[in-house]
Amino acid sequence: MRPPLVLTIAGSDADGASGIQADLKTFTALGVYGAGAVTMVSAVNTHELTGIHYLPGDVVRSQIDAVAADLLLDVTKIGALGSAAVVEAVAGAVREHRGHLGRLVLDPVMVSSDGTPLISAEGARALREDLVPLVDLLTPNLAEAAQLLGRPLATSIDEMREQALALQALGPSAVLVTGGRLEAEDAVDVLVHPGGTDLLRADRVPGRHVRGAGATLSAAIAAQLARIEEFGRAGELGEIGEKGADDDLVTIVASAREFLASAIENAGEWKVSRDGGGYRPLNHLITLDKK
């Protein structure tokens, strides 16, 4: 017997709100064993990003090689990569170890919450051309979808759908464009997948100035995908659809969105900074028993 297992390839955020720290906390909260390969180190707190330190591509590649050679991975989640050299290293590792990495989820982290670019222009180009075509699920936000396509930011659900389909045409089996920044009464995400297109709606959580939502959502999706693999087939778990049904991925994404919404809502009273200001972290501890 073994636990479901996910490898996250992502940056390390010093304040623990996003990046590999958020991924590992999400995996643990959802009952999944997490392994990690660090791509970059961000000096960041709740108020500002003060520095980014990119790791060499061969250092990132060596971490992935070591894990892929040994661990029984169900899913690999890819986050911030930072440079073209790291993107190329990760793409090379994916091509070599494809049979050992499980399903691939790519969260194309390109810009920080405060607008600071997190990847070079060359890195963004390599991401689009070398890595996006290799993954099973791509999860960009509005800004990332626009940047990957070289288009203006989507301003409507119809434009989100068009961009999701354009991204799917690049190679991923499915694309989830998250619309948290869209001016709308509800939070709407667009999911295109082999079974069609689905709009996923949820009430907005008011008054929550948080960081790490994108990382947490994609990590939760990866965790739920790994949990299905643990049972050997889709449809084994009660909350997932029948084996082979088109709505399996839709149900998984919906479940991950519920986890994210709860993590945001239950972080409302948290204070981790000295002055109580800045971005708040999400509460990834919501699945633990409360005393």
* Residues 36-84: tens digit of each pLDDT: 999 999 998 888 888 999 999 999 999 999 999 999 999 999 999 999 9
Q: What is the pLDDT of residue 241?
A: 40
Question: pTM of the predicted model, to two decimals?
Answer: 0.90
Taking alpha carbons only, the member of 136, 128, 138, 53 closest to residue 87 is 128
Tens-place pLDDT, residues 158-187: 999 999 999 999 999 999 999 877 766 677
User: Is residue 277 a part of any domain in this protein?
Assistant: no
Q: What is the pLDDT of residue 205?
A: 62
| Domains: count for the chain | 1
User: Is residue 285 a part of any domain in this protein?
Assistant: no
Tell me, what CATH number does 102's domain have? 3.40.1190.20
User: Is residue 274 a part of any domain in this protein?
Assistant: no
In the chain, which residues have pLDDT < 70? 113-114, 183-185, 204-208, 230-247, 268-270, 276-277, 289-291
User: Is residue 284 a part of any domain in this protein?
Assistant: no
User: Is residue 276 a part of any domain in this protein?
Assistant: no
Q: What is the pLDDT of residue 180?
A: 74
User: Is residue 82 a part of any domain in this protein?
Assistant: yes
User: Is residue 281 a part of any domain in this protein?
Assistant: no
Q: What is the pLDDT of residue 240?
A: 42
Cβ proximity of 273 and 48 under 8 Å: no
User: Is residue 40 a part of any domain in this protein?
Assistant: yes
CA distance 222 to 228: 10
Quote the domain boundaries for residue 109. 5-265
